[in-house]
Structure 1
Amino acid sequence: MELPSLAVWKFTSCDGCQLTLLDCEDELLELAGRVRISHFLEVSGVVEPGPHDVSIVEGSVTTEDEVERIRSIRAQSRVLVVVGACATSGGIQALRNFGDVAEFRSVVYADPSLIESLATSTPISAHVEVDYELRGCPIDRRQLLEVLSAFLVGREPDLPDTSVCTECKRRGLTCVAVADGTPCLGPVTHAGCGALCPAVNRGCYGCFGPMTGANVPALIPLLRRCGMDDGEVDRVFRTFNAAAPEWA
């Protein structure tokens, strides 16, 4: 029986979320026996034509070429999974959306005419239909394994759609905002990290992006009571997921 094919694609990104798959180590060995890698340039020079059973896409769309490429990938992929803050909300490079890209090019590059880029950095879902989104910068490997395992056995993956606060409660952590007055985006941030930062007495800084129905206006007064001024509030929402509509 032919194994299902798995393709991994890179758009504008740092490669960190692709490398999360390699960080699976022991699980990766088992996974390798259950799928056929048809395209994954971080791992192999093998490049097979589609269709692909599962395509994993990292990175945001920032050039005209990437617009066409993601459409082509979607057309030849049975299931499309986008991974990381870049692919799900445009990434930290979406800070360009608030400025003048032509001005940036003129300052950074010796010959700006050689650089071709769009004025904005956008998530994959702005261009094609996406089946599953895994948040984070980088993603949590457990969620990636959950999606791939679910596909292999023919079920829907169990992905959280709650806030980081729920993960704090499950771990029995004291709320850093209430107990210590530490600014924290946990109440509006998508779960999935396991409350990594609150576990070491740091406030969540939102690398998993906004949860569904995030009530950001209700959180801002709390951030101010924890000592943040208006400029600091703006900056804390303009990091990995700057272009997410709930935070923009």
Structure 2
Amino acid sequence: MSPPTLAVFKLASCDGCQLTLLDCEDELLGLSGQVEIAHFLEASSAVRPGPYDLTLVEGSVTTPADAERVHEIRAASRHLVTIGACATAGGIQALRDFADVEEFSRTVYARPDYIDTLATSTPVSAHVDVDFELRGCPVDRRQLLEVITAYLAGRKPDIPNNSVCFECKRRGTVCVTVAHGTPCLGPVTHAGCGAICPAYGRGCYGCFGPSGSVNLPALIPVLHRDGMDDRDAERFLHTFNTAAFEKELRR
């Protein structure tokens, strides 16, 4: 019996989530003995066609070509998992959603007529059905390995859906907002990073996007109390998961 096949594809992204998988090193070597890595250009030029048992997709959909490509990837995949803020929320490039993309193209490129792009940067789930979304910028290596092994074992991934505040409590980190008045997105951000920034006295920047239970409008007055005006708060939210936090604000 042939081993299950794993494929990794990239859309519009920085490659950071794929590098997280490569950084697994020893775990990845052990995994390679249990699966056939059929498509992973970041790691190997060897490519075999689908269908694939598990496909990981990094990056957002920003061009007409990628909008077509995700349908091809979906059709070739038994299970499709999107990894990272770009693939799950449109990424930082979703800032284009609130601006004039044609004006950007004229400003940045000498020949904008050569640029074939969409007016928006959207998550893969906006175009095809996705079996699981793993958040983060980049994703956490432990969570990534959990998702891969879970699907290969035929079970649901055990990924918590609580906020960064839970992680601060677990590691005994004093709340930077309560103790120091530091603006922090921890109460509304998905857990997974291990609360790294608060552990070093900095507020959470929302790298993992909105958590499962979000009351974002209630956080805005706290940000105001801690010295942010409306413009500051808007810029604070418009980073790695711009579109996802904006969606929560509109609810």
Normalised-by-shorter TM-score class? over 0.9
1:246 is aligned to 2:217: no
Q: Hey, what's the Cα distance between the residues in 1 that align with 2:16 and 2:249?
A: 23
Instruction: Read off the aligned partner of 1:206 and give its amino acid letter.
Output: G
Q: Hey, what's the Cα distance between the residues in 1 that align with 2:28 and 2:78?
A: 22
CA deviations over 1:23-50 (Å, ceiling 9, x no partner): 0011111011111011111111112111
Q: Hey, what's the Cα distance between the residues in 1 that align with 2:101 and 2:154?
A: 44
2:92 equivalent in structure 1: 92
1:189: how far off? 0.4
2:2 equivalent in structure 1: 2
1:155 is aligned to 2:132: no
1:156: how far off? 1.2
1:222: how far off? 0.7
Q: How many pairs does the alignment contain?
A: 248
- The answer to whether the 8 Å contact 1:6/1:55 transfers is yes
Structure 1 unaligned regions, length at least 5: none
1:91: how far off? 0.4
Q: Hey, what's the Cα distance between the residues in 2 that align with 1:114 and 1:124?
A: 25
2:67 equivalent in structure 1: 67
Q: Hey, what's the Cα distance between the residues in 2 that align with 1:220 and 1:7?
A: 41
1:152: how far off? 2.4
Q: Hey, what's the Cα distance between the residues in 2 that align with 1:10 and 1:247?
A: 29
1:224 equivalent in structure 2: 224
- The answer to whether the 8 Å contact 1:210/1:247 transfers is no
CA deviations over 1:216-245 (Å, ceiling 9, x no partner): 000011111111111110000100111111
1:154: how far off? 2.0
- The answer to whether the 8 Å contact 1:190/1:211 transfers is yes
Q: Hey, what's the Cα distance between the residues in 2 that align with 1:218 and 1:210?
A: 14
2:116 equivalent in structure 1: 116
TM-score, normalised via structure 1 length? 0.98
Q: Hey, what's the Cα distance between the residues in 2 that align with 1:37 and 1:247?
A: 40
- The answer to whether the 8 Å contact 2:106/2:112 transfers is yes
Partner of 2:54, secondary structure, is strand
- The answer to whether the 8 Å contact 2:12/2:59 transfers is yes
Instruction: Read off the aligned partner of 2:66 and give its amino acid letter.
Output: E
1:189 equivalent in structure 2: 189
Partner of 1:217, secondary structure, is helix
* Equivalence map 1:10-159=2 (5 Å): 10-159=10-159
Question: What percentage of residue pairs aligned between the two structures are identical?
Answer: 67
1:247: how far off? 4.8
Partner of 2:38, secondary structure, is strand
Q: Hey, what's the Cα distance between the residues in 2 that align with 1:168 and 1:3?
A: 40
- The answer to whether the 8 Å contact 2:188/2:211 transfers is yes
Instruction: Read off the aligned partner of 2:238 and give its amino acid letter.
Output: R
Partner of 2:242, secondary structure, is coil
1:92: how far off? 0.5
C-alpha RMSD over aligned residues: 0.9
- The answer to whether the 8 Å contact 1:10/1:59 transfers is yes
2:173 equivalent in structure 1: 173
Instruction: Read off the aligned partner of 1:130 and give its amino acid letter.
Output: V
1:212: how far off? 1.9
1:206 equivalent in structure 2: 206
Q: Hey, what's the Cα distance between the residues in 2 that align with 1:38 and 1:124?
A: 21
Q: Hey, what's the Cα distance between the residues in 1 that align with 2:187 and 2:161?
A: 12
